Every structure is written in C-alpha cells, then in structure tokens.
Structure 1
C-alpha cells in the first residue's frame, strides 16, 4: 500500500537559485518522478513547478485518482516547486498531477518531466527510468571526428512510424527495436553518415508528425520504452552512424493535459497572445523571457544529448521564433523595445542554448531550420551570431527544385537559379535539405516534380542528387527519395518499398548508395564545404546548352575534382576547361546503365594544352543526356 506524502527534496538551495535564474540545465535530475529510498522505504519522489497553484497532489491508480489523498508540499523559498515522497510505489506507476488553481479550477496535468507516457490517446505519465547499459563507447570517444564541420555529413531524414511496416500488419507501428534491426543494415549499405529522426518526443496527435509535443522528456511510447530507443541509437553508433533529433522549442499544443495553462496561468507560454499564440499551427509559443522556461528548454536539449547519446539537434521553425510579426498582419504584433520586429528574448534564448550545448557537449552539432536571411545564424555568439553549427539552405532548395521542374527547353530562362546560390553560399555553414516538407501537401514526390517521360524523370532526379552531393555544404535527404518514391509521403503508411524491384527505382537506389560512397571517399567534396576556397566555377553561363561545371577542392589541391552537369536531353560533345594537366578519370557517372541511365560510356580523358574557360588546359568529353560526371585527376 502507498503511504502518505513525506517531506523530502532533491533540490538544494543552489539548484533553486539556478532554476530561478534560468541557469539550471539539468532539471531532469530534480523535477519529475524519481524512484528513491527515503528513511529505509522505497518509493517515488515527485516534484513539479506550479507557482500559481493553490494545491498540488499526485493522483493515480495507486490512490484511486483521489485528489485529496496525496498532496505535495510547496517549498518555502517562493520557487513555486511542489514536492514530496510517496512510499510503496515504484516504476510503472501511472499518475498525473491534480492542480487546484488560483482561480478555483481543478486540472489534471501530465508531468512535464515524465520519462514515459501512456500510449496515446491515453495521456497519463508513467514512473520510469532512463537507466541503460550503453555499449557505444568507441563511437562516443571518437564522435568529434565524425561530427566535425570538415567531415562528411550525408543525413537520412526519417519518420519512425512511416519508414517501414510489417506487410502482414500494415496498421501496426514497428517498435524501436524492430526498426533498429531493419534500419541499421540499410543505412550502412546505403552509406549515409547520419540519421535524423523527426520528433520522437511524446505527442498526442500522430498526424502532427511529432511536432505538437506534450511530453518533452518522454520518448514516444508508440514504439516502446526509453531503453528501446536507446538500443536503436546504440545500434546505429556501433555501425559508425550518427543520430540527430528534431527538436521543437518553438511551440506546443493546447491539449488539456499538456503545458498550456499548466497551473491555471500562462506558465510556459507568453501571456500576450500577440507573442504567445501561433496563428499557423494554432499552438502556443514559449515565454523565452521567463528564466524558468529557459531552464526547462535548455534542460530538455541537454537531456537528449546526455541520457540518449544523441549527436545533434535540428531545431525546428527557428524563423517563427525570431520574428514578432511571423505570420501576423499589421496590428497583430507588438514591436520590441527598439521598435523592431525581432524577438529579442528568443534571440537571447537561442544564443544561450547554443552556448550551453557546445560548452557541455563540444562534439555535437546544432542545426537551424531558418528560412529567412537572418544574419549569422551559424556564426559565433561572441560576434552577434546565433551560434548554430549549421543552417538549412532553404533558398538553394527552392531555386534548385524550381529549375529542375522546368522542361529542359525552358531551362535557359531559369539558368541563374542554379548559380545564384554561390552569391551567398559562404555566409553561413549551410546544409542542403531535400526534406519531408517538399513531398507533402500536394507538392508531389521529388521524382514527380521532374519533367518528361519516366526515363527523363529519373535521369533528372539523378542529376539533381549529383548536384546536391557535389555542391558546397552538407547534405540531407528524406526517406523514400533514395529510391524514387512516386507518391507523396503519407504518415499513416509505410514507404513503397516494393518499388525497388523495378529498374528505375533500383537504379536510383544504387546511384544514391554510390554517391554516398564517392562523397565520403573524396575529401575535396567535404573538407572545405563552408569555404570559398573549396569551390570554383568553370562554366556557369552556358544557358543554351544547360551545362554547368565547377571544381571542388579540399586540404590537398592535388585531390581536386571536376563536376560537370548537362541538363538537356541530348548527347553533346563538349570542351571544358580543367584546372590542371594530366588524365581526368570519371569516378561517378549518373548515366550508367546500373542506374537506369542510357549507358553513354567514357572513363578517362587526357587534358590538352588548349586554353578554355579561363583555364590553361581543357578536355573534350561526351556529355550524356540529363546527366553528369565527377572527374578526378590521376
């Protein structure tokens, strides 16, 4: 039998002062539910922040959900923390907090720091643990060498519930462990360096893709336990594959059991709806100026990096955080103290988040999904930047897809879309994203964005991937794109894996596999991915023939590579300037028959002493239709 609540605390006065100052970044060690032994009795210590509550009690199966049975004690220090020890209960106990608000409401809330939640649509918290016997010491010891900005980043973005399902049980979600057993060998075979998971934190509405979070510290129980997710991450690490998580500090939903009006007041969200309500997603925006909220959010980032050995965080919807007028009309927002539209509190929060993460986890990366021209997103905070490691290059993505969707006969009128990116490519540390957002809501799959008949669509798609992998910056590709998924992404079903039995799809899959191999084996393609020293245009003005050529360089100039793209559907003999004499060997050809190409074969060409395209030497090469090469001097 459970016993009455005893006075007990994991908080020291120093913990409380850090929390109230917004500087406690490991709150998950204090708040929430923790199994402890107190006065020789096993039980659970509960602690929750609810400063505007009249009373707080723990309710659950153990007391018949009686709000009067187990009241918590409020701390004497005005911190707003309610806490206490309940003996006779332990792991697996289902509970909520019953909160009697200052206005007289009675609320039942899930624990904001719960490590596990009931499987939706049920909403209670479960006393749990993140203890795990990790077996990824080698990866963690050498992680810095995998995550450095001069190393290859080929990221496979995926949603756990719709990546793959059991064909005999298509309605059932695979567990974390089942996914691990299928995913790890696939990623290793395909050659991606990292996997990025759409939000795994608990969310009540499955079609939100995980972006409407109620349990920030709980891995979604739809797929199993915390330890099951750790097994998935560990399994990837043991094969040399990093793991990034999508992280959402920008907004949260208004579900009754969640953070919204947690203690009857606007505790986590900004009270002013002009700052606290998101008009696009009908959700609520964190109050970044409140110290305790900053501690909550940065602690959450630390939690996934610490307890789950995650290698990086991709921060969602950064632009929505930075601008007070984001998706708002005149009169629907209030300027900052300087009369501007910048959200100064959010800017300060993002800077502190990045400073804290890199100070405590120097071998990880943070990546911003930021869709505007905000300056210095991936620049150090001491110079006024936001401090991220990388930023999604949304402009490159939009321009490139807009070019490729054009019929080749019209591409000469859109030629500048392929070259404009180099005007600003080195302003930030850019990641090139072909993400989930580009294959939903009527936007079509990537292959169906391409013009022409089936052969031409797949040839264009291979050329697009060749351009992405050889252009400056790191790479991200959403699941299904690697084999030419034809339908839009549907979160409620598996990818169409059966397509890989057909030559066009198998060809794309083989091409992406070989692209990853060549990318990782060619330092010129990644060592200077954020530096103008690593890129040189050779041909960027031949709009009539749809030809682009550029050189990529790494630390050793002798290992430079030449990339040639030909984006019209004819075969063309073509002279191209080269930066050095010798024999230039084709190390990857997107037109090979293995990839469902036309099979125009050419393996090596000798440079001639003929000046061309501002180069002293040149080669003549046969360009395939809608294809390209990577050439290396031998």
Structure 2
C-alpha cells in the first residue's frame, strides 16, 4: 500500500497582523530617548509570538530588536521629518541642480581637504575647493556660465580628498549615477560621469506598474549574458528580443541581476562598486528605463537583485575608497576584521551608522522611483544577520542559533527599516530575502515584530535535487524525502521555490539538464534521429523536477534564464583562465527555436506549466494536501488549490486504474500532462476522458476516507511522468454546497435509521 503522509498546509488560523505598538508622542527628560520611544515592558505582545508560540522563549531578544528599530525610526522622524524623507539622500548628496547651479556634496568626515575635479576643469581642482560642515559633509556650488552648465552632461568627474598624512587621493563620487571605463585599456579604473541629459534625451515612463500577482513567477535574468552572440548584451536589445520570450513563457515577474555597477564583470554583479549607478556595460540609465517600461507595458513586474550585504574592496573606483583609516563611526564600513568578509573578499557595512543608513535606504528609494523597479531580491542576507556571517555554520533549526549574541541586531534593524520604507513607498512591492539559515520571523510584517520580507528563497530545494542527481541512483530516490524538502517551510512565512537558479549554472556547478544528459546534449537532441535512453530519461525528469518544485515548493517560483529549455553547459564569465572568452557567457536561444531539436519540448512544457498558474492560481494557494507518497511504487499524489497532481517517478512501471484521492466531488479532466507529444512524451493519456469521483469512507468518519480524502477517481499514470487534473463543473461552488447538504442529510439518516444508502456515483 502507499504511504499516506497527510501533510496539510491549509491555513485556518486568525490573521493577527496589526500594529505592534502605536508611536505616540511622549515627553521625556532623557535626551537619548526620542519622542514615541517605549521600553520593553511597555511594548505589549508581539504578533510573531502569536504566529509561532515557540518564539516566546526569545521574547526579550525579539522585543530588543523591535525597540532598536522603533528608536531609530523615531530619531529619523524627529530629525529628518520622516523615514521617506530620510531616504531621499540622493536629492542632497552627489550632484543636484538648484536653479542655475550645480551643488555637489560628499560625506567624508576625516578628509583634511577636498576638491571636485573632472574633464570640466582639466582635472585641476585648485579652483574648485570644497567646504566642510560640522557633520563631515563637503560641498561646492558651481553657477552656470553663459546659460550653460559648468559641468557638461556626460563628462567625467571625481572627488579628490586629502588624507591626514598629506597625500591626495581621487575617488568616484559615492552617489554617482553613472560610471564608465575605457574599454581599450586593460584593467582600467572606472570614472564617474555627470549624468543630466536634456529633457528631450531623458526617457519618460509611459506605462504604470502592473498589478501584484497572486504568486510571483520569476524569470531570473542577467542582461549582459542574454545575447546569443559571444558579447555583452544591451538593455535595449534585452527589452526588444528577450522580454517577448519571457512574456510568451507566461512569467509575470523578472528579476534582473548585475544592475548596480561592478568593476569586475565576472563577479556576476555581486561586488558592487557604485551603488546608484546602472551598469554601463549594457547602456545608459535611459536605456535601462526603456527596458523596465517595456516590461511594464507587457504586464511584467521587475525586481532588482540588490546587494547591501557587502561591497567591493576596490578603492580607486568603489565605495571602499572612502575608508582611509578612520574610526567606524566616520566610515561606511566596520573597522578591522569585522569590516571584512574573508570568503567574499569584500567590505562589510556599518549598519548602525546614521549616514550608512541614509545611503542604503536612499539607494532603495532611488531604484524604485528613478527606475520604477517593483521590488528587490536582497542578496546574501545571512551574512548580514549574524556576526559570524554564516561562515562555518551548519544551521540545525535550533532557535538559539538565531537569537543570541551572534545576531547582528544593527543589521536586522536596518532590514526592518528597509522593508518598512519599501512598502510605504509602494505597498504592492515584492521583497525577497536570500537566507540559508532559516531565520524565524524573516517574512513576517515589521508591524508584528518580523523583519518584513515578503518571501524567502527556498534554498534547501536545489541542494536536495543536486544531491539526488549527483549522488543517488534513481531507484534510491525517496518520495517522502522529496516531499518533505519541498514543503518544509515556516508557517505563514512565504517562500519562492526554485529547482535551479544562477547559482546552479555558474562554472563549478552544472545545470540539471547537463547533469541528466551530459555530452548527449551535443549530439542526441535532434528529432531526426532515434532518441537515446539518456536523453529520454533526462527530458522526462527535467520536466518533473521543475514542475513539482513549482507546485509544492513555495508560494512563488523562480527560474534562471535558459533553464526553462534545458540550456546546456554552465556559465563562465570572461576571465584570464578562459582567455577572456564569452563562449559560455551567453544564451543559445536558437536551441529552443529550432523545430528539429528536442530542447523545444522542455520549453513547451515550461511555458504550459507556468501558464497553468494564471488559469488556476494554485501556487499561492494555502490549500495544500499530500495524500500519497509511495516508496515502492515511486508515486506522489497531492492537491494544491483545486487541482490534483499525480507524479509517477518509476522509470518503467505504468499504473492503470490508479486510485487518486481528492476533496472536490464531480468529474475531472487532465489539464497538463508531461507525457504529451508536444512535450516530447509518448502520448499515453487521452485528455478527453472524464474521470468521475466516488465517495469514500463512512460519513462523519474522515479517518475511513481514502488516504484521508472524501472522494476518489481513477487515472492512468505513465512511467516517469506527471499529470494535473482539474475539476470540471459548470457551477462548482453550488454543486459542492448541494453535495455538502446532501451528505449532512445522509449522516442524519444513518444516525436515525442505522442504515446506509447504497453507494453509487452521484455525478455519473
């Protein structure tokens, strides 16, 4: 018999989200306590404790971090007016026009002197000395001459400062909006660019943000490597050539990587040098706006992969250059070993510093308002959450690992402020956290005492698939283990599931298609030749792995560019080790477009499975029930939303007359079948057949039902395939209501007469 796991994630608890504590204006005699501040005793019960009572043992820690967040927010409101105004630092710092003047400001509190230099003054700053205020901010005002800006649009600029030893160093302005590098000079440093195009040359957005979907179906993309040719692709080419592909494949959200300027292309965009500058490799700021606006026109939301967990160590052309040996309170970064990530070779922010918070919060608002991004994916926040940065840690789920002196409360406070800000600017924003530790409360609202993210990436799922694909024979795959991995997530903390992202595609790893088919992908993908057993198995499992991950792995789904059609090989950015080759730093879109290649089968299936969500909205559904996990038969059966899913992982056995449990009575019809011919299968199922349900068990005794389901129907389950059946009722709600009323009468008659009516199929 099949094992009945009976895993249900139907949410029936009362939603207790609400204000944590109202910020009232209080008079205080202590200057270190701003108006509205309350101590732990006056805070009241945190909402996160209602959601997870196990957190009660750590209430003091949770209230402490909430207090730090509230205290800092109220300080900001008292001094800056509001958190939203505080996050408009780009209107004060960097280059801004005020009437007929350009005003430039830079925070460099330990500099002895400062100058503005650039092409406009032939890099001679002697006539453009800057003045310093009591907060360590240097400024200069440059009046227009002859009705024209002293600094021409598009000209190069830098900030020159004098160190305490008397030496001068040149740096790119910290708030620079654009930076370029001379492509003809090897290992050249970037230069800042004054970006202020005339109105006629500015891109003006024409389309509003798309509505927030019930579940984000995310297409993770890297603009630079999106060309089918061995070169860096442009924003406009991506918009015109790649966006239509994404839309055609039914995704509703794009996650753009490597947007923030990074000097080293091979870092995948994660060693950021210039936080407010869009990467110039792919075009200008106006080109990026064109891309995002075109995505919005197609109904696609756009998320940005934001990197606030660390910064590049580059001094000459990066933010790290502003650290010239000062104390932590005068720097963007922590000092000593605390300010350096040993594994990433990068600098770590001092998240408790006022100006650091202004810089990072303003960075978020800048990308949302200037470029109309719809949200963010926060990279590497495990490093932010803990002083040990997760290095050498193997998290077990013990709550003491999350709430102790190892927790970086300053960083947690910053993330709470960040999520508060983003959702106050745009309530429908989507903010996703990349965390491998499993930090509780990460995806609960700030108002409940949570950190405030909307989703977390379900990072354990790809690890499990890689383990199975590389270390286990197919007959050793455990159905229960697969299901447990997919559904093992915190209650009421939404996840974005994914089978493989860019991490699984980078050099050193392999895509699942490559792990499944290896060199067969080079010469065994033509439909004009007989299919090999390796390719047949690979395509079948590729479809099943991605689909069950989407169907069970979270409340959202993510796919990396090209994996939808089984893009071969791995990603290898141009570097000295590969002779600066772009050969494996591109996307071979033509593989999916060629009618004679089998890549089209995986692409067709991916398009259809993603499209299934638009019709039935099951990914975001709280209704989820696993009715069967059979190790011997290699079967997994579950319901998500109103759909019934059957996965037969057995490599050779097809089950005829397989009994499948369900909740909704009536008749069912197949709406997705991985074995269909259009998906490269054997077309063993008839999609026109209607499957009628039969009642199960004794009325009033759920334990007597079939696999804990009140109804069942029969299906055929071909080997190495999956199928989805939908209830096929003209008025499902009314019929379901009538059925419930009828069953109630049935039970009453049984109790009164002690006999049962004959069992038959009511809907035949």
TM range (shorter): 0.7 to 0.9
**What residue in structure 2 maps to residue 410 of structure 1?**
476
Equivalent residue for 1:260?
A: 320
Residues 1:260 and 1:294: Cα distance change in structure 2 (over 3 Å): same
Q: By how many angstroms is 1:578 displaced?
A: 2.1
Distance 1:329 1:539 in 2: 37
User: Structure 1: how far apart are the matches of 2:205 and 2:481?
Assistant: 50
1:208: how far off? 0.6
2:169 to 83, 107, 132: 107
Q: What is the Cα deviation at residue 316 of structure 1?
A: 0.2
Task: Please say if 1:486 is aligned against 2:568.
Answer: yes
The structure-2 alpha-carbon separation of the partners of 1:377 and 1:106, relative to structure 1 and needing over 3 Å to count, comes to same
Change (3 A) 1:329 1:363: closer
SS of aligned partner of 2:96: strand
Helix, strand or coil at the partner of 1:163: coil
Q: What is the RMSD of the two structures over their aligned residues, measured on CA atoms?
A: 2.6
Tell me the TM-score normalized by structure 2: 0.73
Q: Give the whole-Å Cα distance in 2 for the aligned partners of 1:425 and 1:344.
A: 21
Aligned counterpart, 2:589? 497
2:541 pairs, out of 446, 453, 460, with 460
After superposition, give the CA deviation of every residue in 1:147-195 in whole Å (9 maximum; x if it has no partner). 5xxx131110011111114x4xx33x22211211102211121111011
Aligned residue in 2 for 1:80: 137
Output aligned runs, 1:72-221, within 5 Å: 72-75=130-133, 77-85=134-142, 87=144, 88-119=150-181, 121-129=188-196, 132-137=202-207, 139-140=208-209, 143=210, 145-147=211-213, 151-165=214-228, 167=229, 170-171=230-231, 173-221=232-280
- Tell me which moved more, 110-119 or 257-266: 257-266
The equivalent of 1:605 in structure 2 is 691
- Residue of structure 1 in register with 2:624 after alignment: 535
| Shift of residue 263, structure 1, vs aligned partner | 5.5
Cα distance in 2 for residues equivalent to 1:327 and 1:428:
21
Q: 1:587 aligns with which of 657, 660, 671?
A: 671
Partner SS, residue 182 of structure 1? helix
Deviation at 1:515, TM superposition (A): 1.1
Q: Does the 8 Å contact 2:670/2:724 carry over to 1?
A: yes
Cα separation, 2, equivalents of 1:597 and 1:21: 56
Task: Quote the Cα distance in structure 2 between the aligned partners of 1:454 and 1:18.
Answer: 62
Q: Are residue 320 (structure 1) and residue 383 (structure 2) matched?
A: yes
Number of residue pairs aligned between Structure 1 and Structure 2: 587
Higher relative contact order (CA 8 A, sep 6+): 2
1:228 aligns to 2:287 (yes or no): yes
- The yes-or-no answer on 1:278 pairing with 2:341 is yes
Q: Which residue of 2 aligns with 1:572?
A: 655
Check whether the contact 1:74–1:82 (CA below 8 A) recurs between aligned residues: yes
SS of 2:568's equivalent in the other structure is coil
Aligned residue in 1 for 2:114: 56
Matches of 1:133 and 1:92, distance apart in 2: 16
- The CA distance in 1 between the partners of 2:448 and 2:563, in whole Å, is 38
Quote how far apart the aligned CAs of 1:261 are.
4.3
Deviation at 1:419, TM superposition (A): 2.4
Q: Give the C-alpha shift of residue 321 in structure 1.
A: 0.5
- Give the Cα separation in 2 of the matches to 1:470 and 1:417: 13
Q: Alignment partner for residue 350 of structure 1, among 408, 415, 426? A: 415
Alignment partners' CA distance in 2, 1:269 and 1:128: 24
1:31 partnered with 2:93: yes
Shift of 1:254: 1.4
Question: Is contact 1:99–1:263 with CA below 8 Å preserved after alignment?
Answer: no
Change (3 A) 1:572 1:339: closer
- Cα distance in structure 1, aligned partners of 2:308 and 2:349: 7
| SS class of match (1:514) | helix
SS at match of 2:467: helix
1:627 aligns with 2:721: yes
Contact 1:391 1:430 in 2 (8 A): yes
Equivalent position of 1:447 in the other structure: 513
Query: Do 1:19 and 1:295's aligned partners in 2 also have CA atoms closer than 8 Å?
Result: no
Structural mapping, 1:430-445, within 5 Å? 430-433=495-498, 434-445=500-511
CA contact (8 A) 2:154 2:196 kept: no
Cα distance, 1:268–1:21 mapped onto 2, change above 3 Å: farther
CA distance in 2, matches of 1:213, 1:64: 28
SS in 1 for 2:126: coil
CA contact (8 A) 1:199 1:211 kept: yes
Cα distance in 2 between the residues matched to 1:598 and 1:490: 36
Q: Do the aligned partners of residues 327 and 469 (structure 1) sit closer, same or farther apart at CA in structure 2, a change above 3 Å counting? A: closer
Deviations 1:508-551 (A, max 9, x none): 1111111121111112333x2xx3xx1111112x1111111111
Sort the Cα spacing of 1:365 and 1:322 in 2 relative to 1 into closer, same or farther, 3 A: same
Aligned twin of 1:66? 124
The 5 A counterparts of 1:544-583 are 544-553=632-641, 560-570=642-652, 571-573=654-656, 574-583=658-667
Which structure 1 segments of 5+ residues have no match?
Answer: 1-13, 554-559
Q: Structure 1 residues 101-110 or 285-294, which shifts more?
A: 101-110
In the aligned structure 2, how far is the partner of 1:339 from the partner of 1:579?
A: 44
Partner of 2:555: 473
Q: Secondary structure at the match of 2:125?
A: coil
SS at match of 2:558: strand
Aligned with 2:715: secondary structure? strand
Residues 242 and 271 of structure 1, relative CA distance in 2, 3 Å threshold: closer
Deviation at 1:274, TM superposition (A): 3.1
Worse overlay, 417-426 or 509-518 = 417-426
- Unmatched tracts of structure 2, length 5 or more: 1-75, 145-149, 183-187, 394-399, 518-532, 574-581, 698-705, 729-764
Distance 2:463 2:663 in 1: 31
Bigger Rg over Cα: 2
Q: CA deviation at 1:136?
A: 3.6
* Offset of residue 424 of structure 1: 2.8
Q: Deviations over 1:225-254 (max 9, x none)?
A: 111100000001001011000000011111
- The separation in 1 between residues aligned to 2:453 and 2:568, in whole angstroms, is 34
Shift of 1:438: 1.3
Corresponding residue SS for 1:300: helix
Q: Which residue of 2 aligns with 1:4?
A: none
State the alpha-carbon separation in 2 of the partners of residues 564 and 251 from structure 1: 44
The structural deviation recorded for 1:589 is: 0.5
Give the C-alpha shift of residue 607 in structure 1.
2.1
> Structure 1 stretches (4+) deviating beyond 6 angstroms?
19-23
* TM-score normalised over the length of structure 1: 0.87
The 5-angstrom pairing of residues 326-345 of structure 1 reads: 326=389, 328=391, 340-345=405-410
Change (3 A) 1:129 1:363: farther
